[in-house]
Structure 1
C-alpha cells in the first residue's frame, strides 16, 4: 500500500489461542468477530486499580514486566486475540486463511480502524510492525514468534500475506500477544515511550512517574467499546497497603499474588476470586556462567530442592508443583525429572561428579515489587540448597533493575515468575532454541531442542505435538536447564461497585473493556 492511500496524522490534525492448531489449519471465519463499535453501553465511571510498581516501559515490543503488560494490552491491538478460554479469535484481522501447503497465511484486516492519534490502520502498519519486530536491532521480546516468517507483503490496504519457511501451527496464538502488537508505521520507540498510540479499547491520557498512569475510553475503538470512562493504575508500594486503600474506598480493583494478603482482603465490601495461572515460578539457571556450566551442578540444585516446600512456604500451598510446560493441552508431568522428590544424597553425588564436594556458590537475583512471593521463594530455596552444600548468594533488586539485569542475562541464577502461554512454542521457542531472541536469557540450547521445536511448529496433529513437547520437557529437565517449581493463582480483588471483569489464566487484564463501576 502506498503512503498516499493512508490518512496521515497531519491531515487529521488539520481536520481537527488454545485453538491455535485447528485455526492454523482451517483459518478463522468472520462469524467470530466482535460487534462493531457503537453498540457499547455508556456506563461511564472511573476505575482505580492498585499496583505495586510503575510500568518500566511503555513500548509494547519490549514489555516483559507484568505491570507494563497489563497497561499496554489495553492500549494496543494484535491481529489475533484470546477469548476468556484462551481460544484464538479475530482481532485486528477479521479472518485468515492458510494455504494447502501451510506456507502462506493471508489475513483480511478490519476496515475503519484508527490509531489513538486518529491516523488510519492498514496493511502498511502490519508490514512495518512485523518487519521491525523481526529486525534484530529492534530487540523485540517476541521476535521468535515470527521466526517462521520469511516475507511480509501488503498487496492492498486490507490484506497482509505472510510467507513461511515451514508450516507454523503456533502462529495464530503467537500473534495474539502484546509483543506482536501492531504499531503505526509512522511511530518510533522514543515517541511511544512518552505517549502510546494504539488501536485498543483504551487510550493513554497521562502518567505521573512512580505515582499513577491513566487511560481513557477510546471512543473510536473498532469493537464493543469499553464501558468505563477511565482507568487509573495507582502505584502503591505493597499489596497490604493496596488492601487498606480498597477498604477506605480509594481503590476499587487489584490483582494480588500473595495468598495471605488475598485472605486478609476478602470480606466486607471486597470480593476476592482466585484464578489458576499458566505462569510459573522457577529458579532460572544460566548454563553459560560460572559453576552452572557443569550439568552436574545444575542437577545437584534440582535434586536439592523440595518444590512443594517452596510452594507451601511462599504461597501457602495454593498452587501445584509443575514441570516446564503449563499449557493445558501440552502439560508436562512434574514427576518426569531426575529428582521428582528432594534427594540430598543424589544432590551430593552430582556435586562430587562436578568436583565440588566441598560446596559451590551460585549468585542469584530476585525482584522485589514485581510479584509478592519472590523474596520468600528465594529465602526458602537458599535454605534448602545450603543443606546440600550449595550457597545461593541472593541479590534483591527493585523491579526495573531486575528486568534490566534479566534482559541482559546479567545473572548466574534468577528467581523468576514467567508468563505462560496456551501454546508451548510461544512459551519456550524464544528461550530454548539456539536462534531464539531470548536464548541469551535462557542460558541453554541444544541441537536436539532446535529439532524438536521445529517439529512442534510444523506438526498439526494435536497428539503428535503433545508427544513432541513431552520430549522438549524431558530434554529441559534432564539437563536442569532451569528448576521449574510451581504454578499458583492470581487473586482478583474488587469492591462491590465493580462488575463485569473476567480473570484469565494467562493473567491478562483485557476484560477491563467489559468492566463497569456503579
Structure 2
C-alpha cells in the first residue's frame, strides 16, 4: 500500500486537507505517476486514440450524466472554477473571486481575451446567460441545485459577475467546477450544441460518427497552456477485451477500465497500467415512492439481506472498499454506521414481517450494460442474495443511453448504479436528497430532517461542525435505507509507454489530456 493522491476540498470559506491511499502492484503505477515528470518529455503533435465502451448519450453539458459524456465534454467546455489533480479548487474562467463578510455576495473577476471555439468573445454576458439558464426549471439542468442559494446574477461590467446568495454556501466553489455548470455562449442553443459543441476548453469538437467515434482537436486559442496533442479520438469499442487487443496491436493508445481482470490482461512491456482509487460509488438505488419500497421496513429488509463484501468480491475481485454514502475523505462515512452493518437474514425477515410482506416481494431493477464492467455481475449477486429472504430481484440490462433515460425518469423500483463522487458532499447529494433537489425524483427519497441538515452544512464554516452535520446526513440515509450503498473501487488507466503527462484523477476526470503528449 502506497500513499497516492493528496486532495483538498475547498468551499466558499472552508479549506480541508484530504488524503487517498493508492494501492499499487507491479506492473501497475501509483495513481498520478508519470504526470509532471513525463510531461517534460512529451512533444507537441500526435493523434491519440482512446478506447471507450459506449458513445456519449448527449453533447449538451448541462444535461450530461453518463460518464462518457461528462468526461469528453470536460475537455471541450470551461467552468468558472476548476479542480486540479489534487482536487483543490483553482481558477478557471474566473481568475479570482471575493466573498463578502456576510457570505451573501460573491464577486468573480473573469479572464479577458478568452474566446469560444467559434471565435466569439467570452464575457460576463455569457456567464449570466449560463447561470440563469441553469437555474431555470425549464432547462432541466442536472446541477441546477448547485445554484439553489443564488437569488440574482449580475454583470457590472464585461469582466465582472456578481452572485447574490440567500444564505452562505460553503460548497459553491468546488461545485462550480463540474462540467454540468459549463459556461456557454449566450448566442448558442441546446439544439445547436448537441450537433456542434462550442466551448472554451483546451480542445474543440471536430467530428462525430454515431456509435463509432468522437474526435476533438487542439484549441490553439485556448486561454491556458495549449494542449500538446493534435487530436483526441474517443473510439467506441463495446467490449473491453477488444479494447485491450486494439491497444496491444497499437491501434489504441489509451483506455480506462473498471474491471481488474481486464486491466491485468493489458500487462505488456509496451503498456502501463495505473490504478486510481475513485470517489464514485456502487449502489443499489431504491425508489421509495413506488410499491412496497414506500415502507421503510421493506427497504431495511433489502439492506439487511445484502452482504456488501460479497458483492465487492464477486463483481470486482475485492478490489475496493465497502462504503457508506459519503466517499470524500474529509467527510467519509463509517460503512458500519447503519442497521445491519453485516448481513443479517433473520433481521431482514423481521423487517419484511413488519412491512406486512413475510413472503417477500418483487423488485424491478434496471442495469446499465456497457457503461461499466461490473454492473451485471453486481445485479446477479444481489439477485441471489435477496432471493434467500423471498425478495425477487428481476433485472433488465439496458444500453447506457436507454438506462439513463429510465434513470432520469425514475422509471424503476431499483437501479444498480455507479454514481460519481465529489470532494464536496453537498455536490454529491444535495441535488438528490433535498425535497427541492433537481434529481430528487431520481433519488426517490427526501425528508424535512435532510432538508435542514443540508442547509446547515452549506452555512457552516467550521471544519468539525461540517463533518458532524454530514455524519448526520449519512446516518439518516442509512437508517432509512434510502439507497443501499455497496462499495467504492478503482479505475485502471492503461496507456502506451510513449504517452506521457496524463494524470488520472479520483473523480474520473480526463482533464489532463491537456498535458498529455507522445515522446519523441
TM class, shorter-chain normalised? over 0.9
After TM superposition, give the deviation of residue 462 of structure 1 in Å: 1.0
Task: Give the Cα separation in 2 of the matches to 1:381 and 1:406.
Answer: 19
Task: Give the Cα separation in 1 of the matches to 2:353 and 2:233.
Answer: 55
Return the match for 1:20 from 10, 13, 17: 10
After TM superposition, give the deviation of residue 246 of structure 1 in Å: 0.2
Task: Give the Cα separation in 1 of the matches to 2:263 and 2:42.
Answer: 31
Residue deviations 1:211-232, cap 9 Å, x none?
0000000000000110100000
Q: Which stretches of structure 1, 4 residues or more, deviate above 3 A after TM superposition?
A: 22-26, 39-42
Q: For the aligned residues, what is the CA RMSD? A: 1.4
Task: Give the Cα separation in 1 of the matches to 2:456 and 2:236.
Answer: 44
Residue deviations 1:401-435, cap 9 Å, x none?
00000011111100000000000000000000000
Contact 1:18/1:173 (<8 A) preserved: no
Which residue of 1 is the match for residue 19 of structure 2?
none
Query: Which SS does the other structure have where 2:247 is aligned?
Result: helix
Which residue of 2 is the match for residue 460 of structure 1?
461
Task: Give the Cα separation in 2 of the matches to 1:40 and 1:374.
Answer: 38
Query: Which SS does the other structure have where 1:161 is aligned?
Result: strand
Task: Give the Cα separation in 2 of the matches to 1:217 and 1:127.
Answer: 27
Which residue of 2 is the match for residue 333 of structure 1?
334
TM-score by length of 1: 0.93
Contact 2:43/2:518 (<8 A) preserved: no
Contact 2:41/2:500 (<8 A) preserved: no
After TM superposition, give the deviation of residue 18 of structure 1 in Å: 3.4
Query: Which SS does the other structure have where 2:489 is aligned?
Result: strand
After TM superposition, give the deviation of residue 22 of structure 1 in Å: 6.0
Equivalence map 1:71-470=2 (5 Å): 71-470=72-471
Cα 1:248–1:40 shift into 2, 3 Å: closer
After TM superposition, give the deviation of residue 303 of structure 1 in Å: 0.2
Query: Which SS does the other structure have where 1:168 is aligned?
Result: coil
Task: Give the Cα separation in 2 of the matches to 1:483 and 1:354.
Answer: 18
Task: Give the Cα separation in 2 of the matches to 1:404 and 1:464.
Answer: 38
Task: Give the Cα separation in 1 of the matches to 2:322 and 2:227.
Answer: 37
Which residue of 2 is the match for residue 509 of structure 1?
510
Contact 2:285/2:483 (<8 A) preserved: yes
Task: Give the Cα separation in 2 of the matches to 1:346 and 1:335.
Answer: 16
Which residue of 2 is the match for residue 34 of structure 1?
none
Moved more, 355-364 or 92-101: 355-364
Contact 1:40/1:227 (<8 A) preserved: no
Cα 1:181–1:408 shift into 2, 3 Å: same
Residue deviations 1:478-513, cap 9 Å, x none?
000000000000000001111110000000000000
Task: Give the Cα separation in 2 of the matches to 1:22 and 1:209.
Answer: 41
Task: Give the Cα separation in 1 of the matches to 2:362 and 2:154.
Answer: 52
Residue deviations 1:8-62, cap 9 Å, x none?
xxxxxxxxx9332365699xxxxxxxxxxxx998611000000000000000000
Cα 1:203–1:40 shift into 2, 3 Å: farther
Contact 1:21/1:462 (<8 A) preserved: no
Query: Which SS does the other structure have where 2:397 is aligned?
Result: strand
Contact 2:304/2:342 (<8 A) preserved: yes
Task: Give the Cα separation in 2 of the matches to 1:275 and 1:353.
Answer: 43
Contact 2:457/2:469 (<8 A) preserved: yes
Residue deviations 1:197-250, cap 9 Å, x none?
000000000000000000000000000110100000000011111000000100
Task: Give the Cα separation in 1 of the matches to 2:41 and 2:112.
Answer: 19
Task: Give the Cα separation in 1 of the matches to 2:79 and 2:411.
Answer: 31
Task: Give the Cα separation in 2 of the matches to 1:95 and 1:46.
Answer: 34
Task: Give the Cα separation in 1 of the matches to 2:15 and 2:349.
Answer: 49
For structure 1, list consecutive stretches of 5 or more residues without a partner in the other structure. Answer: 1-16, 27-38
Residue deviations 1:262-283, cap 9 Å, x none?
0111223111011000000000
Task: Give the Cα separation in 2 of the matches to 1:277 and 1:23.
Answer: 25
For structure 2, list consecutive stretches of 5 or more residues without a partner in the other structure. Answer: 1-6, 17-39
Task: Give the Cα separation in 1 of the matches to 2:380 and 2:78.
Answer: 39
Cα 1:381–1:25 shift into 2, 3 Å: closer
Query: Which SS does the other structure have where 2:8 is aligned?
Result: coil
Task: Give the Cα separation in 2 of the matches to 1:18 and 1:124.
Answer: 31
Which residue of 1 is the match for residue 29 of structure 2?
none
Query: Which SS does the other structure have where 1:275 is aligned?
Result: strand
Task: Give the Cα separation in 2 of the matches to 1:200 and 1:40.
Answer: 23
After TM superposition, give the deviation of residue 388 of structure 1 in Å: 1.2
Task: Give the Cα separation in 2 of the matches to 1:266 and 1:193.
Answer: 37
Task: Give the Cα separation in 1 of the matches to 2:103 and 2:50.
Answer: 43
Contact 2:14/2:462 (<8 A) preserved: no
Query: Which SS does the other structure have where 1:18 is aligned?
Result: strand
Task: Give the Cα separation in 2 of the matches to 1:175 and 1:469.
Answer: 20
Which residue of 2 is the match for residue 11 of structure 1?
none
After TM superposition, give the deviation of residue 336 of structure 1 in Å: 0.2
Query: Which SS does the other structure have where 2:96 is aligned?
Result: strand
After TM superposition, give the deviation of residue 127 of structure 1 in Å: 0.3
Task: Give the Cα separation in 2 of the matches to 1:252 and 1:380.
Answer: 34
